[in-house]
Structure 1
Amino acid sequence: MKNTLLSSPLQGFTDFRFRNAFHKYFGGIDTFYSPYIRLNGKLVIKGSYERDILPENNTTLEVIPQIITNDADEFVFVAKYVQSLGYKELNWNLGCPYPMVAKCGMGSGLISNTSQIEHILDRAHSETDIIVSMKMRMGYEEPTEILDVFPILDKYPIKNVAIHARIGKQLYKGGVDLDSFQRCLDVSKQKLYYNGDITSVEAYRALQERFPSIDHWMIGRGLIADPFLPSMIKNNTTEYPKNRYEVFKEFHDTIFEEYDAYLSGPTPIRMKMLGFWEYFAESFPNPQKTFKKIKKAGNTKNYLSAVEEIFKDA
């Protein structure tokens, strides 16, 4: 069975700068999902969202835009907007677990509101011809919440449902709930994708063995922590290339330069890269010590020196 690998959208991380560099240096991802577009009640697309999905910023990639909303007007507006850029599909985020989103009735906080989900899907399919796909958790409070959504999805030509096998209130704590994901497979008529804790080739193989009918796999945090992971999965190997850290360093330098040119001042770029290093550190022999070196670097000069030292030691 041919397996397709997808990049799960991570807000603040997987924008077009990251995606382009990742594709150039590592590869292995068939389709990238853009971090979600959020309108907050105003039918206006922010410049940062627009830049992220402009075709000229994504020339070598297959990218699917994503929206997070609980409002039908917003959904229809964004659907027509992305279509004007040439996109045929819009992914709807019902997975974001963060309380500030969920408590507003969006992301995983919308899963239990089946009537609103149906209303939005009805408007989307009656007023546009956009292809709709879904990114979901199994619920916010309980993993059974998603089961009440499937009959609604069956009324519409939903392309697929990517399920992160946790509930929203877990955030990323605790393990994935594979039994509940299996229950989704048992009852849903939808094309399901799997997402959650694909952090190594071994973990991927175990999931593939557990769910042989799944042929689309979405990788989120694991892709940032180990950028070689998708290509290693595709090549069916657990061996890293001999020049592993040289390639990683070139990738790091590329995204650093991109973000440094975009962000204004030393503090934003430091905080941006600090976020990446929370994950990058996992690729080094002593993650805690590696991340500590980055945290201690109080300015750009010290940061770059710390990065040189980390890669040299690796």
Structure 2
Amino acid sequence: MTPTLLSSPLQGFTDFRFRNAFQKYFGGIDTFYSPYIRLDGKLIIKNSYQRDIQLENNTTIEVIPQIMTNDADEFLFVVKYIQELGYKELNWNLGCPYPMVINKGLGSGLICQPSKIDHILNRVHNETDVVVSMKMRMGYENPEEILDVFPILDKYPLKNIAIHARIGKQLYKGGVNLDAFQRCTENTKHKLYYNGDITSVEKFKELQERFPSIDHFMIGRGLIADPFLPSMIKNNTTNYPKNRWQIFNEFHDAIFHEYDAALSGPTPIKMKMLGFWEYFSTSFNNPQKTFKKIKKATNPRSYQEAVKEIFSNEK
């Protein structure tokens, strides 16, 4: 059985520029989730969010918009917006682990409030016909939090629940908790997607064997670190294409030029690409040395020279 692979939304990384280039050079992802739309109490959708999910910017891929909110009115406002664009599904982020989000009762910080989740889902399902799916952690403080939410979620016709097998407090530290994820599979009627630490074909096969009932897998950081991973999983191979580094180089150049055109000044583009290289570097023979070369590049010219040297050393 060929698995369905989904791109987990990563704020600051998986916008439409990245998604389109990824699809062109690598493929293997069936559906992309856009990074979350967040309103912060104002019923206004920022231009950057609008651009990211505009249909003309996503012509070759399937995209599902995502919202992060703890307010029913915000949820309904975004539903109306995405439906006017032609989208039928909205994914709700109850997974973000960062303190600045948790402190506002958002992301994984909302999982411990089943009554608020119930209120929002009740209004959304009574007042709209949007399809709702969920992206969650297993809790913020402990992995039992999600078990208290499942009876609430089971009241609604959710499309699926994608679960990152960590708690929010971990951020991305420590390992995934597969025993806790197993408990999730036994305590809800909803279809579950697995997310967390899919970093190699071997790791994917271990997860597939451990959870034979799961046929949808979401890849986040692993997809950026090794963009070939989804297509290799789909093709059931651990062999990279012979022109691996040429493809990677062309992909890098494509997103670099896209972001360089969109961002103003050398500092924003350097910071943007530095974020990507924190992941990219792990695919190279000497990750630490590779990342150090990128960090030392002080201007666009030295950056491009560093990139050229990095890729030429791998050929």
SS at match of 1:39: coil
SS at match of 2:233: helix
SS at match of 2:5: strand
Q: Aligned partners of 1:262, 1:221: CA distance in 2, in Å?
A: 23
1:80 matched to 2:77? The reply is no
* Residue equivalent to 1:62: 62
Q: Aligned partners of 2:183, 2:106: CA distance in 1, in Å?
A: 24
Q: Aligned partners of 1:157, 1:83: CA distance in 2, in Å?
A: 18
Deviation (angstroms), 1:239? 0.3
* Residue equivalent to 2:299: 299
SS at match of 1:270: helix
Deviation (angstroms), 1:91? 0.0
* Residue equivalent to 1:211: 211
Deviation (angstroms), 1:187? 1.2
Deviation (angstroms), 1:176? 0.1
Q: Deviations over 1:33-87 (max 9, x none)?
A: 0000000000001000000000000000000000000000000000111000000
Q: Aligned partners of 2:207, 2:154: CA distance in 1, in Å?
A: 26
Deviation (angstroms), 1:2? 3.0
* Residue equivalent to 1:2: 2
Unaligned runs of 5+ in 1: none
- Give matches, 1:1-314, under 5 Å: 1-314=1-314
Letter of the structure 1 residue corresponding to residue 111 of structure 2:
I
Q: Aligned partners of 1:52, 1:75: CA distance in 2, in Å?
A: 18
Deviation (angstroms), 1:185? 0.4
Deviation (angstroms), 1:16? 0.1
Letter of the structure 1 residue corresponding to residue 185 of structure 2:
L
4+ residue runs over 4 A deviation: none
Letter of the structure 1 residue corresponding to residue 204 of structure 2:
Y
CA RMSD of aligned residues (A): 0.4
SS at match of 1:147: helix
User: How many residues are paired up?
Assistant: 314
Q: Aligned partners of 2:99, 2:144: CA distance in 1, in Å?
A: 19
Q: Deviations over 1:9-49 (max 9, x none)?
A: 00000000000000000000000000000000000010000
Unaligned runs of 5+ in 2: none
SS at match of 2:208: helix
Q: Deviations over 1:263-303 (max 9, x none)?
A: 00000000000000000001100000000000000111000
